[in-house]
Chains A and B, each alone.
Chain A
Amino acid sequence: MKVIKNFNVIAVIFLLFILSSPIFAETTAESGGGLESIIKIMVAVTAFLVAVIMWLVLVYSEKSESAEESGFRKLMQMLNQRPSIDDEQKLLLDHDFDGIKELNNKIPPWFMAIFYGSMLWAAYYMVDYHILGSGNVQEDEYAAEVQVAAMEREILNKSGALVNEETVTVLDDVAAIASGKEIFIKNCAACHGMNGEGLVGPNFTDDYWIHGNKINDLFKTIKYGVPQKGMISWQAQLDPTQMQEVASYILTLRGTNPPNQKAPEGDLYTYE
């Protein structure tokens, strides 16, 4: 009996879920679906599945309990309108297929309620999106998302938090160089060699440079890339500080004379 009581609680959650389903069905504004909304959905789905199983257990254990008519049981009866299994004979149709008989049970009212509800929701959705136009179609959603990002970027630019190819300076503190090295090994070494000796891309340890040897030049090459030569643009992958760090690290490689160096490319620059 105690167990059954606990089931009731869970079954109520299930009902609440059914009632609330249209709410999260129509959330359309946030296409990205932040972590929060995902967690909500996952929790709802999990609770729902647990509830269904519990509900099944409850429904099928009903036979053993008949003395007490709780409010909850009345509610369940209203939603299911299912006659007791003992009255089944009255519902038996004269159908017989290879021994299979059929009952004439009512379709549960809760089933019809959700079915009609889903139709209403569908009508509302189509009207909202395609007649009133108040739902965001994907192009509008995208435009809104980009606009927000542009505003955020504007604020960052104004705050001076972002360096660019004009304002960039050489970093020489140990932490920045170490971070630059890490970025280099992860992203650049595949083409420029583990030690900058050059591989698919040019050698960074000699005195020859194709696109200039100043920090501004390096920063620019990294940021925009040189697509026709196979150097990709990194501005979508590295933030300005990271590009500054890796450019500063590359400048420290000159004269390290690693093995297997690639032949010089570009123009010879003289250093003091």
Chain B
Amino acid sequence: MNVEKFNYDNQIVKLFLIATIVWGIVGLLVGVIIATQLYIPELNLGLSFTTFGRLRPLHTNAAIFAFVGNAIYTGVYYSLQRITKARMFSDVLSKINFWGWQLIIVLAAVTLVTGITTSKEYAELEWPIDILIALVWVVFGVNMIGTLVKRREKHIYVAAWFYISTFVTVAVLHIGNSIELPVTFLKSYSVYAGVQDALVQWWYGHNAVAFFLTTPFLGLMYYFLPKAANRPIFSYKLSILHFWTLIFIYIWAGPHHLLYSAVPNWAQSLGTVFSIMLWMPSWGGMLNGLLTLRGAWDRVRDNPVLKFFVIGVTAYGMSTFEGPMLSLKNVNALAHFTDWILAHVHVGTLGWNGFMTFGMLYWLVPKLWKTDLYSKKLANVHFWIGTLGMVVWVIPMWWSGITQSLMWKEFTPLGLLKYPNFLETVLQIVPMYIMRSIGGLLYLTGILIASYNLFKTMGKGSFTAEEAAEAAPRGPVTEKLQYGMIHRYLESKAILFTVLALVAILIGGLVEIIPTYLVKSNIPTIASVKPYTPLELEGRDIYISNACNSCHSQLVRPFRSEVERYGEYSKAGEFVYDHPFLWGSKRTGPDLHRIGKKYSNMWHYLHMENPRSMSPGSLMPPYPWLLENKLDDSNLKAKISAMRTLGVPYEEGYEEVAHAEMAQQAETIVNDLLDNGIVVEPDKEIVALIAYLQRLGTDIKAEVAENK
């Protein structure tokens, strides 16, 4: 048999590996900072750039796309070459993939802290960066599929099935969710509005978790875990079953993020039932991982790599059990908008993504640098401090989520809310916030220890950029399609496999999203709901730019306790002009959907200047710059016509009078403030923000009044 000689590209793996460590430290550091800001708001140093709302998306983006993203590339670029017995398809594409991704991360950091954001969670980046992401992702995909096509192995290993599904699904999700109409170079509006935008966003958001945090890591597990344990995969059958069921079912479960919202009931129910059905396919991955360790458990005790993998896979099992439970409406009613969700997410990210990454790095660095780990002792310290950090992070957040939610819902015997003041429920959980930041600090310490250990290991070894390998060419395909071996046949067809994976993931999304467009009755219109005035529209953009939606929801759920606290529950028809929707996903502060006309203009002015003056003890940071900054209304005309293009019924030619109308409305607010002894110029940002807040959720009040 003739044997071909070739080289594995280790250089690209090294680049991604170092980026993983560096961004890991950055992402976790920002996490610790914002965790601390929640009880010491002064830590924003009085700057808009470092305020919680701006840093929170920076943390999530850095952790998910920078840390985990680079970890995925590290693992894929290393393992794919080896399971296909081929060098990456193109060195140029590899380089574009690396430098392009790092450029995206830097651009993300700069734009997010300066308030350039679309507001959509985990998809905050503006349209030029979105296009860049799409391009770089396609480069990655082409490079991967190209490698699979020119592979020397006859079949495609299960790890690569997961890589393939990751590529196609993230491409579809990212493009689908980022369809937005540019207004200027750095500002755009989502083409979807209200309920539709919410469904698309959580179809994306949920599946970003599925196909960026889950499937690529299952792929990594299928390579690195058996390699490190030197054991065969427990069950090939189980691999096939849980791969296809996982990718097919996952995509349907998005609406479980929108239970008890204004989304149609049928969509919510689909979210619930598919989440329950997702339980076993998820556990299939955990079982195959843990049972692969069968016969190697004695080695887990003294092998740090396996230790990290065991906790990682166990954390995956825990959070994929918790997820379906949280999708039950009665549990969700309690957990949604609270810290419980954060606990759930962090079991996944700290436990599964973090520990799998660390395990992989501890295995990979000695391998690539041809040496032993610098210190096994330090790796063990990292393991314990990381595990402890996770426990100290997660348990207080479960506790605080349940505590606060029960306080929100409690009534007195006389039928009044027991804790009508939202702040009381926040102050109650401050000790938990403190614990959580300590947990985060421990976990961060762990990764610092890891980076020291890994860089020391690199220092004492010698790195080979080009690793020689040899394998027989694949030759003509001989695999035949035959009964009982269908999947084996599929494994020899890279393109067909990719297409089938694409079909599997398209079905759920299409079934859930298309009907909300086509079936009018899914979004009942409300006659009294009108488009925003120019000033309110500008105010809304200030709300978005300061990421108020990081802490405040705009969605009153149909519960007596919420209607009592905030006002009438939110209806689908109220959001038809909301491009993008701003429902939020976490109530660190109270809901704002019915804030309009509840307080005076002066209250809002003083509250933004210093929240504690109106709400003693408040943990909201002050926003004094809103009082100083001049409103940039230079794009108002473009904004109005963009909104009209998206279907908001502004009359033709409204652009021409928009500035005058805006000035008029600003004048009214300024005069009212002046009557109360506050002097402010009408062109300040605060005026526009007050106009928006006073409008929020008030349209429907007219309707209610008319009906009475």
Binding site for B on A (CB under 8 A): 24-25, 27-28, 30-33, 35, 37-38, 41-42, 45, 48-49, 52-53, 56, 60, 85, 88, 92-93, 95, 97-108, 111, 114-115, 118-119, 121-122, 125-126, 129-130, 137-139, 141-142, 145-146, 149, 152-153, 156, 161-162, 186-187, 190-191, 200, 227, 229-230, 232, 236-240
Contact = CB atoms under 8 A, between A and B. Distances in A.
B295 A122 contact: no
Interface stretch (B32-40, B93-101, B102-110, B558-566): B558-566
Contacts of B79: 98
Contacts, number: 196
Contact of A100 (B233, B322, B569): B233
Contact of B415 (A100, A101, A153): A153
Contact of B227 (A100, A103, A156, A190): A100
Interface in B260-274: 260, 265-266, 268-270, 272-274
Interface in B325-340: 325, 328-331, 333-334
A268 B314 CA distance: 73
Given A107-B238, A137-B265, A145-B560, A33 B232 contact: no
Contacts of B83: 97-98, 100
B223 A232 contact: no
Residues of B in contact with A, size category: 35 or more
B280 A130 contact: no
B416 A237 contact: yes
B121 interface: no
Given A32-B561, A186-B421, 5 more contacts: A35-B406, A102-B236, A146-B560, A149-B560, A239-B416
B669 interface: no
A99 B469 CA distance: 14
B284 A111 contact: yes
The 8 closest A-B pairs by CB, nearest first: A230-B600, A237-B420, A122-B273, A115-B280, A142-B558, A101-B232, A105-B235, A97-B157
19 contacts: A24-B328, A33-B331, A48-B321, A98-B79, A98-B83, A100-B223, A103-B234, A111-B280, A111-B283, A111-B284, A118-B280, A142-B563, A145-B559, A146-B560, A156-B415, A187-B421, A230-B601, A232-B599, A236-B564
B287 interface: yes
B329 A28 contact: yes
Given A31-B260, A200-B676, A106 B237 contact: yes
Contacts of A32: 333, 409, 559-561
Nearest to B224: A100
Interface string B551-571: 000000011110111000100
B90 interface: no
Nearest to A146: B560
Interface string B230-249: 00111111110100010000
Contacts of A49: 318
B116 to A, nearest CB: 34
B406 A31 contact: no
Contacts of A129: 265, 269
A103 B276 CA distance: 28
A237 B155 CA distance: 67
A229 B331 contact: no
Nearest to A120: B277
Given A107-B237, A111-B287, A232-B599, A122 B330 contact: no
Contacts of B322: 45
B182 interface: no
A36 to B, nearest CB: 11
Contacts of A31: 260, 329-330, 333, 559
B266 A105 contact: no
Interface of B: 79, 82-83, 85, 153, 155, 157, 159, 222-223, 226-227, 232-239, 241, 245, 260, 265-266, 268-270, 272-274, 276-277, 279-281, 283-284, 287, 290-291, 294-295, 297, 314, 317-318, 321-322, 325, 328-331, 333-334, 402, 406, 409, 411-412, 414-417, 420-421, 558-561, 563-565, 569, 597-603, 606, 613-616, 676
Given A97-B153, A237-B420, A102 B600 contact: no
B228 to A, nearest CB: 11
B241 to A, nearest CB: 6
A53 B415 CA distance: 44
Most buried by A among B159, B233, B318: B233
A138 B235 contact: no
Given A60-B294, A190-B615, A118 B277 contact: yes
B597 A227 contact: yes
B582 to A, nearest CB: 21
A230 B233 contact: no
A34 to B, nearest CB: 9
B594 to A, nearest CB: 12
B155 A95 contact: yes
A99 B234 contact: no
A78 to B, nearest CB: 17
Contacts of B406: 35, 38
B560 A125 contact: no
Given A122-B273, A227-B597, A105 B238 contact: yes
Contact of A141 (B558, B565, B599): B558
Nearest to A137: B265
A104 B238 CA distance: 9
Given A97-B157, A153-B415, A130 B265 contact: yes
Contact of B331 (A41, A106, A149): A41
Contacts of A191: 603, 614
Contact of A238 (B223, B416, B558, B601): B416
Contact of B233 (A42, A101, A108): A101
Nearest to A143: B558
A149 B414 CA distance: 10
B344 to A, nearest CB: 12
B237 A236 contact: no
A230 B232 contact: no
A219 B565 CA distance: 20
Contacts of A33: 330-331, 333-334, 409
Nearest to B557: A138
B415 A229 contact: no
Nearest to A186: B421
